[in-house]
Amino acid sequence: MEQPYVEEDLKRDRHPTDKKKGFSRYLKFYMIPGWRHPDFTATEYEIDRTKSRRRLFRRLLKPLTIAGMVMILFIAVLGVFSPWLTPFTIEHLVPPDFLPETPYLQPSPLHPLGTTRYGFDILGRLIWGSRTALTAAALPVIIGTIGGLAVGTISAYFGGKVDALIMRFCDFWFAFPVLILVIIVAPMIGNSLYNILILFGLFGIPGSTRWVRALVLQVKQNVYVRAAITSGAEKFKVMFKHVLPNAISPIIIGFFGAMGGAILGFVGIAFLGLGDEQFSDWGTDIQYGRGQWGAYYAVFWPGLFIAITAIGFMLIGDGLRDALDPRLHL
């Protein structure tokens, strides 16, 4: 007996004994409010799955991540165009120069957010401070990550005595509270901005070393690494060409999260009065206006900007984590 509908129905992924057409078969269910055709749902699910798997950017562009990017973009724009955004030059906003203004003025057309100690314009210090903030976020993390990458890879790859030595040093270093150590050491070597940032970076190396070492040890188990060694590749080539590129994705994710932490740490140092007065810096602003209860805006705005930067970096880090490596717990 002929079955003319078989081919067509197989194409539609329907059982051949099911004689009714789609619409008439599900006709009675269309009366139920909120009911959907199963084929339609299945197709939609299929599209969603392939779509979300295919494109990194589609997974990256969640609302929260976009919000984070907008925040960082805002701060970056302030930093790049700061000479054009405020009539004050940086020389008029740092201590050696004293304007004839009274400190802690109320907001006025000349000073839209009021003035802080020594009569510096708050808005001007905010705008110029974004440069300091972005530097403070980037530099320690770059130093820490690159140092950690180099030392951690060497430690994991060579193993043996080198590994033991480096790991004992890390154990020793973890016994210290890092922030207190920075506060102690920074005045010794002169607390200029770059000294503090480099110190932060150097003190962060042991932490990232231990992390990178764990990642590299995982990758080292793979077959292609052993194949490369067997076929006679040099040690450094295997290390930096085969092992490292495969361990790099969690490191990139961790990079952004660490930037949020780095800026909070640096602002904390500045808040304690150990920052560099030659740069406009939000932490110093909060330290200036701390006891001035009548001029709360001298504290309110810098803190808000710190939070915008830190939260922006954290949101981007979270978004990258969800997009690249959802199983990773940071």
Minimum separation from the CB atom of position 277 to other proteins (A): 15
- Is 311 a residue that touches other proteins (CB under 8 A)? yes
Minimum separation from the CB atom of position 78 to other proteins (A): 18
The residues, any chain, with a CB within 8 Å of residue 92's CB and separated by 6 or more, are 99, 120, 121, 124
Q: Show the DSSP H helices in the chain as ranges.
A: 6-11, 22-25, 38-54, 56-60, 63-80, 82-85, 122-158, 160-174, 178-188, 193-220, 223-230, 235-237, 244-271, 282-288, 297-324
- Is 315 a residue that touches other proteins (CB under 8 A)? yes
- Is 172 a residue that touches other proteins (CB under 8 A)? yes
Q: How many residues bind other proteins (CB under 8 A)?
A: 38
Stretch that binds other proteins, among 27-35, 107-115, 180-188, 236-244 (CB under 8 A): 180-188
Using the rule CB under 8 A, which residue among 150, 277, 303, 325 binds other proteins? 303
Could you count the other beta carbons within 10 Å of the beta carbon of residue 109?
Answer: 5
Torsion from C-alpha of 312, 317, 322, 325, nearest 10 degrees: 170
What character string, x for contact with other proteins (CB under 8 A) and - otherwise, covers 142-171?
Answer: -----------------------------x
- Is 46 a residue that touches other proteins (CB under 8 A)? no
DSSP annotation of 107 reads P
Stretch that binds other proteins, among 103-111, 133-141, 192-200, 322-330 (CB under 8 A): 322-330
Torsion from C-alpha of 144, 145, 148, 151, nearest 10 degrees: -110
Q: Show the DSSP H helices in 81-121 as ranges.
A: 82-85
Using the rule CB under 8 A, which residue among 73, 214, 227, 307 binds other proteins? 307
**Smaller CB distance to other proteins: residue 138 or 228?**
138
- Is 31 a residue that touches other proteins (CB under 8 A)? no
- Is 310 a residue that touches other proteins (CB under 8 A)? yes
Amino acid sitting at position 54:
R
Minimum separation from the CB atom of position 215 to other proteins (A): 17
* Helix, coil or strand: residue 121: strand
> 18 is written with which tokens?
């099911």
- Is 298 a residue that touches other proteins (CB under 8 A)? no
Contact 253, 316 (CB under 8 A): no
DSSP annotation of 19 reads -
* Binding to other proteins in span 218-277, by CB under 8 A: 260, 264, 267-268, 271-273
**Smaller CB distance to other proteins: residue 205 or 243?**
205
What is d(CA 205, CA 146) in angstroms, rounded to the nearest whole number? 8
Minimum separation from the CB atom of position 290 to other proteins (A): 6
Minimum separation from the CB atom of position 256 to other proteins (A): 13
**Smaller CB distance to other proteins: residue 133 or 225?**
133
> 267 is written with which tokens?
């602002």
Using the rule CB under 8 A, which residue among 162, 183, 217, 252 binds other proteins? 183
Q: Tell me whether residue 121 is exposed, middle or buried, using C-beta atoms within 10 angstroms of its C-beta: 0 to 12, 13 to 18, 19 or more.
A: buried
Minimum separation from the CB atom of position 260 to other proteins (A): 7
User: Given the rule CB under 8 A, which residues bind other proteins?
Assistant: 171-172, 174-177, 179-181, 183-185, 187-188, 260, 264, 267-268, 271-273, 283, 286, 290, 293, 296, 299-300, 303, 306-307, 310-311, 314-315, 327, 329-330
